[in-house]
Structure 1
Amino acid sequence: MDHTLVLLCLVIAGASLLKGMTSFGFSLMAFPILLNFYSPLILVPMLTLCNVLTSAQIVLTTKVKKKNTEKPNHWLLIAGVVGIVPGVLLLQTLDVDTLKVIVGVIFVLLSILFLSGFRFKIKHPIRAQIIAGTTAGFLGGALSVSGPPLVLFLTSMKFTNQQFRLHFARFSVLTSSVAFIGYFLSGMITGEVWKLFFISFPILILGTILGQKLSTKVSIRFFQVLCISISLCAGIWSLITGLQL
């Protein structure tokens, strides 16, 4: 097997394990690494399709008490869909190095904010949902990575692990599905995209299932710090490669 495909399998294994544990971080971990070997026009649609399936699996298998899911997040979902459209258009216009720098700056800044103890004081939940949803949707459409702004929003809402996982996965299912339709209409779903997806598929499913089993053994604080630390590392790596340092 080609060494690039071996790397692909290893990265997908680690990213799907993380996704199963947290509902977050699949593209965040995979995108900056694989972007050094694949065109974003191939990589982003492939990772988006992976996100749809893994998120759907988490939604279907995550059980929380009904009262814990009563906080409405309709505006978050609507704003996420709206943000997808300019993100998909941006993907078709930017070069790889510019994408890497944008990813790096966003990830590093948001990660530092979180790790420093910053949390949004959400006085207007609908406004907060619109801002977080639009930003996350835009990043999802352009980079297949919607995580950092959504993580800050959901942690500021003081969700439990299972609440966090369920809300994040629901958002990802909807926005990734819409983004994938956009890529399809733009002619970006090619044979190479399907090839990489089908190579990744069995590893993707196994890693997600294992991550889900581990998720109940992770404390809330460790869970949050793990997510953001990965975001920080991914951002630094993206900046270094994008600036060709």
Structure 2
Amino acid sequence: MLELTFYFFIILTAAILQTSTGFGFSIMATPFLLLLFSPPQAMQLNIILSLVISFSLLWKVKKDIEFALLKKIMIGSIVGAPVGSLLFAIVDVTTFKLLIAILLIGLTIMLIKNLSIQQTNGRDYGVGFISGMFTTSIGMAGPPLLLYFASTHKKKETIRATSLAYYIFIYLISLLSQLTIEGTSKTVWLYSLNALPIVLIGLIVGQLLFRKLNQKLFLTFIYVLLVASGIMLFIQSIWAML
């Protein structure tokens, strides 16, 4: 009973975060799901519930999606995903994660200090490439997008909507890959079904929270999540080295 309560609390918090910002479910949920489930099960639960949230919100946010940008990011990610798989196979993933963690924290600090870049076609494709590469190498699609969106001063509505639409694309590919390579289990689907009422509550609360967030506070959420991602990767890397 205690384990189930903890599971529901994780999902509720992550669902509120994902609904109110368009990102953060993986950052919030995955480390704690790994305490309850095997890595493949935790990954599949994360992907399935993220997809449920993204699909549920898509009808509401579709008017805010920057489709031209989304298309370029998707194309870039298709090219980047095989590169990430190759990196995963040939490099020391622990060292790679450590380097990414340091880079992520450093870039976030620069963002907080008003780092600003100009959006270009090349950079749109490039951030998609990096996101696809990160997805298949370290399991994190979001940080490159957040850094790019924040540094190009996108509105919170555009960030949330475009991120959610992209996650549907990238997570569907990831889920199909997981099911093909790792297979699945009854536990994953049973716990996913049990979590649906909790996800619904998270959707309602998260939507109310989004309306309360102004642009400045929304960006603060981005900075906190980026730093949290970097710290999580850093701890994972150091732990693996010990």
> Which 10-residue stretch deviates more, 20-29 or 180-189?
180-189
SS in 2 for 1:24: coil
State the 1:102 CA deviation: 6.7
User: 2:128 maps to what in 1?
Assistant: 133
User: 1:28 maps to what in 2?
Assistant: 27
Instruction: Mark the CA change 1:92 to 1:21 in structure 2 (over 3 Å): closer, same or farther.
Output: farther
Instruction: Mark the CA change 1:44 to 1:84 in structure 2 (over 3 Å): closer, same or farther.
Output: farther
- C-alpha contact 1:29 1:234 (8 A) present in aligned 2: no
Aligned length, in residue pairs: 240
Write the deviation string for residues 130-149 of structure 1: whole angstroms up to 9, x where unpaired: 21112212333445432111
TM-score under structure 2 normalisation?
0.83
Write the deviation string for residues 138-194 of structure 1: whole angstroms up to 9, x where unpaired: 333445432111012222332211111111111111111111111111133333322
Q: Which of these residues, 221, 230, 233, is aligned with residue 216 of structure 2? A: 221
Write the deviation string for residues 70-92 of structure 1: whole angstroms up to 9, x where unpaired: 65432111122333445567779
Instruction: Mark the CA change 1:210 to 1:238 in structure 2 (over 3 Å): closer, same or farther.
Output: same
CA RMSD of aligned residues (A): 3.1
Are 1:82 and 2:79 matched, yes or no? yes
SS in 2 for 1:62: helix
Q: Give the whole-Å Cα distance in 2 for the aligned partners of 1:119 and 1:70.
A: 22
> Which 10-residue stretch deviates more, 230-239 or 209-218?
230-239
- C-alpha contact 2:54 2:164 (8 A) present in aligned 1: yes
- The percentage of aligned residue pairs carrying the same residue is 23
SS in 2 for 1:73: helix
Are 1:231 and 2:230 matched, yes or no? no
Task: Name structure 2 gaps, 5 residues minimum.
Answer: none
Q: Give the whole-Å Cα distance in 2 for the aligned partners of 1:234 and 1:172.
A: 17
- C-alpha contact 2:84 2:137 (8 A) present in aligned 1: yes
> Which 10-residue stretch deviates more, 162-171 or 85-94?
85-94
Are 1:204 and 2:203 matched, yes or no? no
- C-alpha contact 1:119 1:152 (8 A) present in aligned 2: no
Instruction: Mark the CA change 1:150 to 1:69 in structure 2 (over 3 Å): closer, same or farther.
Output: closer
Instruction: Mark the CA change 1:102 to 1:12 in structure 2 (over 3 Å): closer, same or farther.
Output: farther
> Which 10-residue stretch deviates more, 188-197 or 161-170?
188-197
Q: Give the whole-Å Cα distance in 1 for the aligned partners of 2:35 and 2:91.
A: 15
Write the deviation string for residues 17-40 of structure 1: whole angstroms up to 9, x where unpaired: 011111111111212333344332
Write the deviation string for residues 200-232 of structure 1: whole angstroms up to 9, x where unpaired: 222123202321122121111110111221231
Are 1:173 and 2:168 matched, yes or no? yes
> Which 10-residue stretch deviates more, 91-100 or 225-234?
91-100
* Bigger fraction of residues in helix: 2
Are 1:115 and 2:83 matched, yes or no? no
User: 1:193 maps to what in 2?
Assistant: 188
User: 2:147 maps to what in 1?
Assistant: 152
SS in 1 for 2:23: coil
| Map 1:7-22 → 2, pairs under 5 A | 7-22=6-21
The amino acid of 1:41's aligned partner reads P
Task: Name structure 1 gaps, 5 residues minimum.
Answer: none
TM-score under structure 1 normalisation?
0.82
Write the deviation string for residues 39-70 of structure 1: whole angstroms up to 9, x where unpaired: 322222221122222112222112647xx846
Q: Give the whole-Å Cα distance in 2 for the aligned partners of 1:69 and 1:223.
A: 18
